[in-house]
Copies of this chain bind each other. A is one copy, B any other.
Amino acid sequence: MVDISPQRPQTRIQRRNTEAILEAALEVFSAQGFRGATLDQIAQAAGLSKPNLLYYFPSKEAIHLELLSGLMDVWLAPLRAMDPEGEPRAEIMNYMRRKLEMSREMPRESRLFANEILQGAPRMMEGIEGDLRTLVDEKAAVIRGWAEAGKIAAVDPHHLIFSIWALTQHYADFDVQVRAVLGPERDPFAEAGQFLDTLFERLIAP
C-alpha cells in the first residue's frame, strides 16, 4: 500500500519513484496538456512500466491533481512575499522580478498552469476563487493604500497585478513564439528583465 496521506512514512524507493513520476508528469502534462498526455508517456519518462506507475498513483487524474495542488502554493509565494511594510516601489518591482525569474526557472509549471486556466480551470476553480482571490484582494488593498499615500502612481491594483502576471508568464508560455520572432541570437529573458524594469518603473512612478 502506498500512503498518500499528508505525512508519508515512505521508503527510499517510494520517495524516489513518486518524485520521478511527478517530474515526468510535469514534463508531459505541460507539453501536451492533460488530455494530450498518456500514461505510457509519463511512465516511460519516469523509467517505469505503466502498471508500476499506477501502483503509486491511483489514476492519471490523481497525478495531475497532485501537481496542480502542489503548484498553487509555489506560484503564489512571490505575491505572498510582498511586504506591506516595505518600500512600495521596491516591493512591486521585486515582485515582478521574482515572477519573471519563476517564468525562466519554471516554464513547465507556468505552462501547466496556463493549460489549466485555458481549459476553464475545471480542476482549480476552488483554489482560484478561494486562496488566490483572497490573497490578491489582500495585496490589492495594500497597493491601493500605497497609491492613496502617493507612494506610487494611482493605478488599479488588480490590473497592476494582472499585468505582472501577463507580462512575465508570456515569456514562459509563449516561449517558442518569442524565440521564433527574436531569432536564435537574442536572449528573451535577459531582454525581458530590462524591458519590464523600464515598463513598470514608468507605470508606477508617482
Contact = CB atoms under 8 A, between A and B. Distances in A.
Interface stretch (A18-26, A27-35, A48-56, A58-66): A27-35
A162 B136 contact: no
Interface in A145-187: 153, 155-156, 158-160, 162-163, 165-167, 169-171, 173-174, 176-178, 180-183
A132 B156 CA distance: 33
A128 interface: yes
Contact of A202 (B118, B137, B203): B203
Q: Give the interface size class of chain A.
A: 35 or more
A121 interface: yes
Copies of this chain, tallied across the complex? 2
A5 interface: no
Interface of A: 31-36, 111, 114-115, 117-121, 125, 128-129, 132-133, 136-137, 153, 155-156, 158-160, 162-163, 165-167, 169-171, 173-174, 176-178, 180-183, 191-192, 194-195, 198-199, 202-203, 205
4 smallest beta-carbon distances between A and B, as pairs: A166-B170, A35-B36, A159-B195, A166-B166
